[in-house]
Amino acid sequence: RLEKIWLSIGIAMLIIFLAIVGISGFAMGMNPPTSDSAHGRIDPTKVDTTPPFDKPGLIQAGDNLYEANMTAYLFSFDPGEMEIPAGSTVMFNITSKDVVHGFSIVGTTVNMMVTPGEINHLSYKFDKPGEYLVLCNEYCGTGHEVMQARIIVK
């Protein structure tokens, strides 16, 4: 009888502990914009056939809200260019098909690692119109310097 009660308490504690770990992990993932958050696994060799990365690009997700599904690979980003209206928030989902790359948007605080096998998330609100340069900021090989993309905010 008493053992059962203690067992229940033990299980309850375990559940609470797991909930706290889960919530803090989630909160960290939501922490913009410099976190290297990674949720979800993806086979780097199957990126091209795994939605949404089989069709990289911009999807409108709401009013002034876009989802950018991107891939990084030696030595490019796909898509290499995207156009969004000023005032839009873009949720970036990006994965690498090969090695570790970087994803930084010049002139903003956006800066994260793009790791193979993981889907990296980050969102950013583009208030100012202009052309934003996306650079790889993790050394990834001979073409590292030319690995870039553009985001045009109108």
| Cβ pair 27, 20 in contact under 8 A | no
In angstroms, give the least distance from the CB of 137 to ligand CUA.
7
Write phi, then psi, for 83 (nearest 5 degrees): -120, 130
Measured from the CB atom, the residue of 65 and 100 that comes closer to ligand CUA is 100
Examine residue 125 and tell whether it contacts ligand CUA (CB under 6 A): no
Calpha distance 99→117 (Å, rounded) = 10
Among residues 138, 149, 151, 153, which is the contact residue for ligand CUA, using CB under 6 A? 138
Rounded-to-integer distance, Cα 16 and Cα 31, Å:
22
User: By C-beta, is 50 or 75 nearer to ligand CUA?
Assistant: 75
**Rounded least distance, CB 30 to ligand CUA, Å:** 26
136 binds ligand CUA (CB under 6 A): yes
Restricting to residues 50-89, name those near ligand CUA by CB under 6 A.
75
Strand pairing class (148-153; 130-135): antiparallel
CA dist 53 to 31, 38, 47, 117, 150, Å? 23, 16, 6, 13, 18
Q: Residue 113 interacts with ligand CUA (CB under 6 A)?
A: no
Question: Of the two residues 67 and 98, which places its CB atom closer to ligand CUA in the complex?
Answer: 98
Residues contributing to the site for ligand CUA (CB under 6 A): 75, 101-102, 136, 138-140, 144, 147
